[in-house]
Structure 1
Amino acid sequence: MGFTAAWAISVHEDTVIAELAPRLLPVIEAERTDPVARRRWDLWRRGPLPDYRTWYTAFGADRDSREAEALRSFQLLTAIGERITGLCDGGADGFQAEGDVWKRQPDPSVMFFSSRRRTFPVGSLFHAIGPERAVQLPGWCGNFLLTSREVRESLPHVERALTFGRGERAAVDAQDWLDYRPDEESVIDGPLRVWHRAARARHGLCGLALYLD
């Protein structure tokens, strides 16, 4: 069965961040502290995956191998969390990301948005940059809610995670498996652009990785 996964980083005034905090922060924290998720994170940090083009050849030959298990663990780590899905699917109180989050931006054109069929944008980013850079990003696997002050405080960490020398950038791009249109931002470039814009404007940020269908 197919699905469409998205990762969005939207820009908000602190009053909106404060309204969203009671709803979003407990869910993100529950995802971050889930024992199974923490084990998957630790497994990936101890053994980053090789070139993604080898995954379904070398790993697929033995589905019970340690390498195959590491791949499955990483895929589950960077998939859309069940708690985020439950929050944003328009459940009992009708909360939805588009109306309750994304439409509440002072300038929607600043927003970063990436969606793909049957693959996860955050997973592509994390594999491309590796765990030592990914750990610099706030929140959990693409989900975060930051006040304007927290945006400014976290900016140096995000810059360390997403700034590369020429040789480094070529290696990172080679491991980002998403195909981009000529006018589309990559998951490597978009987040840092939004962070800079939000920091200059003294706005907060909301990151959500979720299913669109």
Structure 2
Amino acid sequence: MGITSAWSISAHDDDFISALAPRLLPLIAAERNEPFARERWDRWRREPLPDFRTWWKPFGQFCRREADALDSFLELTAAGNHMQKMYDGLSSYDDFSLFTDVWDLVTGREDIFVSVQSKEYALRSFLHAIGPARAALLPGWCGNFLLTSHEVRKTLPAVEQALGFTEEERAKAENQDWLDYGDEEESVLDGPLRMWRQAAADARGLCGVSVTIY
């Protein structure tokens, strides 16, 4: 059975970020501290994966180490159980959800970047396209973060370093981003940096969440 996923980055005033922090920050910490999470991240940094078109070879052509490295990355970049609570609701006693209490509150189209993908994780394509060295410059954990306006401004130089490309680097990254985009869809290579720059200019915070919709 396939999945549909979403990776969103939305801009909010600091009051909203502060109100969201007790809910979201513990979930990000739980994802980061999940058993094997750091091991998977470190393995990806040590062993960046080759061209994605080589990932699904005929049976018997993968060595065990290659297969394990790919499985590790796929697990790392799938939406985690803890962050999923931001979409499903935190508990049976709390109906707070990412959809109604975060996304629905965004009124300006320019105040959100969201990539919804069928049978795929947008975050996975993004991380593979930029590679582990650039990904290590980004705050939070695997596309999940909550930043005040001060933290947005503070992290902007590192994000610009991570997501700023020469013409050759951009072409290489695009070659490893396997997502298809419609005429009005924003690339995962464009949306995050746009959101950071805009939020920094507007003195706003940012909320980034990767979840499975269904």
TM range (shorter): over 0.9
Q: CA deviation at 1:107?
A: 3.0
Q: Give the 5 Å matches for 1:97-116.
A: 97-105=98-106, 107-116=108-117
Residue 45 of structure 1: aligned partner: 45
Deviates more, 1:136-145 or 1:91-100: 91-100
CA distance in 2 between partners of 1:187 and 1:115 (Å) = 11
> Aligned letter for 2:151?
E
After TM superposition, give the deviation of residue 61 of structure 1 in Å.
Answer: 2.8
Aligned mates of 1:86, 1:194 — CA distance in 2: 24
- Name 2:159's counterpart in structure 1: 158
1:83 matched residue in structure 2: 82
| Paired AA for residue 196 in structure 2 | W
Q: Give 1:62 shift.
A: 4.8
Name the count of aligned residue pairs: 212
8 Å CA contact 1:4, 1:118 repeated in 2: yes
Task: Give % identity.
Answer: 53
Counterpart position of 2:199: 198
| CA–CA distance in structure 2, aligned partners of residues 8 and 165 of structure 1 | 25
What's 1:182 paired with?
183
Structure 2 stretches of 5 or more lacking a match?
A: none
CA RMSD of aligned residues (A): 1.4
TM-score, structure 2 normalization: 0.95
Displacement after TM superposition at 1:100 (Å): 1.1
Q: Which runs of 4+ in 1 moved over 6 A?
A: none
| TM-score of the aligned structures, taking structure 1 as reference length | 0.95
CA distance in 1, matches of 2:109, 2:190: 17
The amino acid across from 2:175 in the alignment is A
What CA deviation, in whole Å up to 9, does each residue of 1:96-155 have, x standing for no partner?
A: 112111223363432000011111111101100100000111111111000000000010
* Paired letter, 1:43: R
Letter in 2 for 1:174: N
> Residues 43-101 of structure 1, C-alpha deviation per residue, up to 9 Å, x if partnerless?
0000000000001017x535661001100100000000011113420342112112111
- Partner residue of 2:30? 30
| Alignment partners' CA distance in 1, 2:62 and 2:167 | 36
Residues in 2 aligned to 1:184 and 1:106: alpha-carbon distance in whole angstroms: 18
Residue segments in structure 1 that go unaligned for 5+ positions in a row: none
User: Is contact 2:125-2:177 (8 Å) kept?
Assistant: yes
Cα displacement (A) at 1:33? 2.3
Q: Assess if the C-alpha contact under 8 Å between 1:13 and 1:106 holds in 2.
A: no
Change (3 A) 1:22 1:189: same
Higher helix fraction (1 or 2): 1
Contact 1:11 1:106 in 2 (8 A): no
Q: Which residue of 2 aligns with 1:68?
A: 67
